Amino acid sequence: MDQSKLQQHYSQQYNTELEEVRTAVLRMGGLVEQQLERALSALQHGDSSQGEVVVANDYQVNALDVDIDDRCTTIIARRQPTASDLRLVMTVIKTTADLERIGDEAKRVARMAIRLSASDHGRSLFLQLEHLGDQVREMLHGVLDAYARMDVDQAIKVAHQDKRVDAEYENVLRQAITYMMEDPRSIPLILDVIWSARALERIGDRCCNISEYVIYFVKGKDVRHTSLDQMEKEVNA
């Protein structure tokens, strides 16, 4: 990130604390991205061992969440940050919360992959899940890039991508319902597919949240609960 976006202080230690907590989020983001990648691979290839690795490694995401929260609490208590410093700390806190939830959703996908790995039924739906997963993975990578560079334009691009994710999610649901109507015996399997799709759709929503936090830090404007058009107007105002 351009260092000009961070205030410089007489205390070099304070500068270091702010930069360290910001970069800790990127480490957490990298781990979450890896978790999602493995979960999607487990789903695509029917690899239960990959899914088990994701479930087993979720504690690492949780540990980073707790560590970053502790650091932010210490900064608030000791430094009493104001202006952009406070926005940075709040951005970090909110971003880590969403990353932790993305990690949970990746674990949920991994668990479904383990259950689905023994079945060859509904492979056409699995293909739809792969398309949805690819789009969500692109969103997560894009929003982490937006955070790393505090790039408002990239953040807005990610928000726009969520429309495609929502449309793909609805396609999966429609196909799943049709599949269950044609073969009621498939209902338990298809329900797992639906829950996996729902987890992926939620990851897209969490990525949108993070894009809003980036805009909040850079522009000082809270664009939550606004339309995309309104978000762009606020950014360009």
Spell out the domains of the chain, with CATH numbers in brackets: 3-236 (1.20.58.220)
pLDDT at residue 4, rounded to an integer: 44
Q: What is the pTM of this model?
A: 0.92
Which tokens belong to 113? 């992959």
pLDDT at residue 37, rounded to an integer: 97
Angle 154-156-158 from CA coordinates, rounded to 5°: 70
Which residue type sits at 24? A
Cα-based distances in Å from 6 to 1, 58, 89, 108, 152: 9, 31, 11, 36, 15
Q: How many whole angstroms separate alpha carbon 148 and alpha carbon 175?
A: 37
Q: What is the mean pLDDT of each run of 10 residues along the chain (237 residues)?
A: 53 89 97 97 90 97 98 95 94 98 97 81 74 96 97 96 95 91 88 93 98 95 90 83
pLDDT at residue 121, rounded to an integer: 61
Cα-based distances in Å from 18 to 11, 27, 81, 102, 220: 11, 15, 10, 24, 18
User: Exposure of 77 by Cβ count < 10 A (0-12 exposed, 13-18 middle, 19+ buried)?
Assistant: exposed
First-to-final CA distance of the chain: 23
pLDDT at residue 206, rounded to an integer: 98
Cα-based distances in Å from 191 to 21, 36, 235: 40, 20, 40
Q: How many whole angstroms separate alpha carbon 17 and alpha carbon 35?
A: 27
pLDDT at residue 165, rounded to an integer: 96
Which tokens belong to 128? 């739809």
Neighbours of 121 (CB within 10 A): 15
Q: How many whole angstroms separate alpha carbon 144 and alpha carbon 199?
A: 19
The interaxial angle of helices 228-236 and 187-219, nearest 10 deg, is 20
Three-state SS for 80?
Answer: coil
Which tokens belong to 236? 């360009």
